[in-house]
Chains A and B, each alone.
Chain A
């Protein structure tokens, strides 16, 4: 054995290896594996929240693409009636633009629920069956009024399509909500476990032995990454179970709405954002734990961190309904909410460069959090103040 010390990564590995196997063989891991059942209960509540979020997202609009004269008359009547009757928002388009209604409906940037073409006397409505069924009456009413009010309600020709961008957007909000909720539950479970692990070290008085042998940064990294590895084991188990369930009952399970970036990339991004979200909140919890002198202190001090975690969850959930708004950008930039907001983005928006920027940003913050946490940990965890006899420093006379 030479005189060199272990590198910080070697030392972190020693800690991580111990923690990993200790947790893997503990009852806590069993509870962690049972987490999806807990998630099932929570998802019922989250589903309600998601539905609310979906309903509060920008509602789909009706594209009006008749002749210029009919468009003007329709828009004027729509303006007159919209306070008295519940009508969809409209956007006027030229006849040429309306010539390809399916392309308009598929355009994710325009949020059209249906496209109105034809004439006031003979309107034609293209869209998903649900949407055109819902808007058939209002369109006939406005068309009749716009035509002078003498006509009976004109027959609206319905051209159903399989989907529209508005439908997809609404469904993707659901995917985003599910992603954020899963992320929140996983990080909450893991942060709680890492805190319990630290409490155990304090209770067993191991921490001084660790601090004497290896740098505190390594203890920090080891503990964080051990729990991350544990979570990957859990995810692998759940993934295998989910794959089996899907394989056995694929026909009975309705297809999930595909996220904007596609399933493979969404899953990859989810795992990365989950890792970063956990490392951020985990380092906060570890730092909080280090500042506590007793187990009770740990529990008390962890409350603000838990509240912070909840606040971050609600911020991201609220912000995701309005992609590109100031609040959503704030959620993407604020380090603790950034992983949540970016998971929601991955579900709703196809751009990839934003994820590259966000990942660099979050990795930088993870480094800052871990470094600061380790420094505070080292400063606070071995403090032995209360046991010492108070000795005020005598003032030194100036030289």
Chain B
């Protein structure tokens, strides 16, 4: 649930200029399917915001409602303070999950057309399109039809079309899907560059690593609901930091200093691993009995929880499993 609901209510009433997008209680049904069930989101201007969840969680439907592509059955949303996102269409760029361009159009025309949809004059769109294509290494494709381009090149053309009118808010729906590792890296750089110039970037993903590397704030969507929306650090802090301890001995009077529910693994070479949350009293009080009891400390570290662990804690094991299956990974 969004923290600070009162703040949200005030923002929705006044149209908080610090928020690029604000939404409250968004609900969307498709016949008997409840796709989104009461989503609250507040995206600060100039931030990189991730919407995280497995496929079918409601990410795309939420984005479509935020952009005015579909209307919510319940709830309110504002983009730059406007109830109707189309009213600020010129400020928005959108790259949908299902990429598409007119196959017979030339690359620069396709970019110019996407700009024209957002109010950019065609001639200016063509000029900027050619410049963008040159800058992104596609100068040779300016006069080529989309059908003559590779899939990756066509994706780049569409991405440039999304940015040609220099929007203040860019929304990417699953932008990393279908890209190889090199192009994923380039896209991450591009997103950081956009944010550095003050552009608000929202993207949905089911790959936690992208969100962890890029986002300042995230919303976790699972089962059409948002169990968490806020800072990435706040999400990670939902799980206490973990103490990772390695000792030579496995038993002794010092054992009482280690929490009873600590995870314990015996190493084949004789060592022992211990893992447990940082005690409320800190670890200093625990160290003395270990040293005096000659536990044989081999290593000691305190590790902050990752976003994946936070996701599991917030959205549940089932959602995490779905997320990993979406990525083609075996559940951890």
B contact residues around A18 at 8 Å (CB): 102, 113
B34 within 8 A of A: yes
Q: Is the CB of A213 within 8 A of B117?
A: yes
Q: Name the residue on B nearest A18 (C-beta).
A: B113
Whether A384 and B69, one on each chain, are in contact in the complex, defined by CB atoms closer than 8 angstroms, is no
Stretch of B8-16, B93-101, B250-258, B304-312 on the interface side:
B93-101
**B175: interface (CB < 8 Å):** no
B87 at the interface (CB under 8 A from A): yes
* B117 x A382 contact (CB < 8 A): no
- Tell me, yes or no, whether B67 is within 8 Å of chain A by CB: yes
- Cβ B100 vs Cβ A205 within 8 A: yes
A110 within 8 A of B: no
Interface residues on A, range: 35 or more
A5-B87, A206-B100, A208-B96 given; A391·B69 CB < 8 A = no
Taking a contact as CB atoms closer than 8 A, the residue among A6, A384, A393 that contacts B61 in the complex is A384
- B119 near A6 with CB under 8 A, answer yes
**Residues of the A chain whose Cβ atoms lie less than 8 Å from the Cβ of B58:** 388
A214 in contact with B101 (CB, 8 Å): no
Set of chain A residues within 8 Å of B224, measured between Cβ atoms: 391
Q: How far is it, in angstroms, between the C-alpha of A389 and the C-alpha of B55 when the chains are bound? A: 9
Which residues of chain B are near A378, meaning CB under 8 Å?
70
Asked whether A213 and B37 contact (CB < 8 A) given A18-B113, A383-B30, A388-B30, the answer is no
Q: In whole Å, how far is A251's beta carbon from the nearest beta carbon of chain B?
A: 46
- Known A1-B165, A206-B102; contact A390-B94, beta-carbon cutoff 8 A: no
189-229 of chain A: CB within 8 A of chain B: 204-215
A4 sits at the interface (CB 8 A): yes
Whether the Cβ atoms of A390 and B90 lie closer than 8 Å is no
Residue B29 lies at the interface, judged by CB distance under 8 Å to chain A = yes
With the chains together, A385 CA to B223 CA distance in Å?
14
A 43-85 to B, binary, CB cutoff 8 A, 1 in contact else 0: 0000000000000000000000000000000000000000000
The answer for the CA separation of A22 and B105 in the assembled complex, in Å, is 9
A11, A14, A382: the one contacting B69 at CB < 8 Å is: A382
A383 vs B91: C-alpha distance when bound (angstroms): 25
CB pair A14–B116 under 8 Å, yes or no, is yes
Question: What's the minimum C-beta distance from B135 to chain A, rounded to whole angstroms?
Answer: 20
Complex Cα distance A1/B56, Å? 37
Interface string of A12-53 (1 = CB under 8 A from B): 001000100010011000000000000000000000000000
Cross-interface CB contact of B114 among A2, A209, A215, A390, cutoff 8 Å = A209
The one of B29, B60, B120 in contact with A1, judged by C-beta atoms closer than 8 angstroms, is B120
Q: Taking the complex as formed, is B242 at the interface, i.e. its CB lies under 8 A from any CB of chain A?
A: no
Asked if B64 lies at the interface with its beta carbon under 8 angstroms from chain A, I say yes
* A388 & B96 in contact (Cβ 8 Å cutoff): no
Q: Contacts A1-B120, A5-B87 given: A382-B64 contact, CB under 8 Å?
A: yes
**Interface flag for B20 (CB, 8 Å):** no
Contact pick for A208, options B37, B100, B119, CB 8 Å: B100
B4-58 residues at the A interface, CB under 8 angstroms: 29-35, 37, 55-56, 58
**Interface check B103, CB cutoff 8 A:** yes
Contact assessment for A388 and B67 in the assembled complex, using a CB-CB cutoff below 8 Å:
no
* A256 at interface, CB cutoff 8 A: no
CA distance A382 to B63 in the complex (A): 12
Chain A proximity of B178: nearest CB distance (Å) = 13
The answer to whether A387 has its CB under 8 Å from any CB of chain B is yes
Q: For the complex formed, measure the closest distance between the CB of B107 and the CB atoms of chain A, giving whole angstroms.
A: 15
Q: Which of A6, A387, A388 contacts B89 (CB 8 A)?
A: A6
User: Is there an interface contact between B90 and A5, defined as CB atoms closer than 8 Å?
Assistant: yes
In contact, A204 and B103 (Cβ under 8 angstroms): yes
For B241, what are the chain A residues with a Cβ–Cβ distance below 8 Å? none
Q: Which of B55, B101, B118, B166 has a CB less than 8 Å from the CB of A213?
A: B118
Tell me if B136 is interfacial: C-beta within 8 Å of chain A. Answer: no
Residue from B29, B55, B58, B96 with most neighbouring chain A CB atoms (10 Å): B96
Complex interface: chain B residues within 8 A of A391 (CB) = 33-35, 37, 223-224
Is A213 in contact with B120, judged by CB distance below 8 angstroms?
no
CA distance A383 to B32 in the complex (A): 13
Query: A205 vs B173: C-alpha distance in the bound complex, in angstroms?
Result: 14
Residue of B nearest to A202 (CB): B100
User: Knowing A6-B119, A14-B117, A390-B33 touch, does A208 contact B223 (C-beta < 8 A)?
Assistant: no
Roughly how many angstroms separate A18 CA and B116 CA in the complex, as a whole number? 10
Q: Does A392 contact B (CB under 8 A)?
A: yes
A5–chain B nearest beta-carbon distance, Å: 4
Q: How far is the CA of A392 from the CA of B94 in the complex (A)?
A: 30
B86 partner, pick from A5, A206, A382, A390, beta carbons under 8 A: A5
In the assembled complex, the CB of B232 is this many whole angstroms from the nearest CB of chain A, namely: 26
By a CB distance below 8 angstroms, the chain A residues around B117 are 6, 11, 14, 209-210, 213-214
Minimum-distance CB pairs A-B, first 7 = A205-B100, A385-B30, A213-B117, A212-B94, A389-B56, A5-B89, A208-B96
13 example contacts (A-B, Cβ-Cβ < 8 A) are as follows A5-B89, A6-B117, A204-B101, A205-B100, A206-B100, A208-B98, A209-B100, A212-B68, A212-B69, A382-B70, A389-B223, A391-B223, A391-B224
Residues of B that sit less than 8 Å from A by CB: 29-35, 37, 55-56, 58, 60-61, 64, 67-70, 80, 86-92, 94, 96, 98-104, 113-114, 116-120, 165-166, 223-224
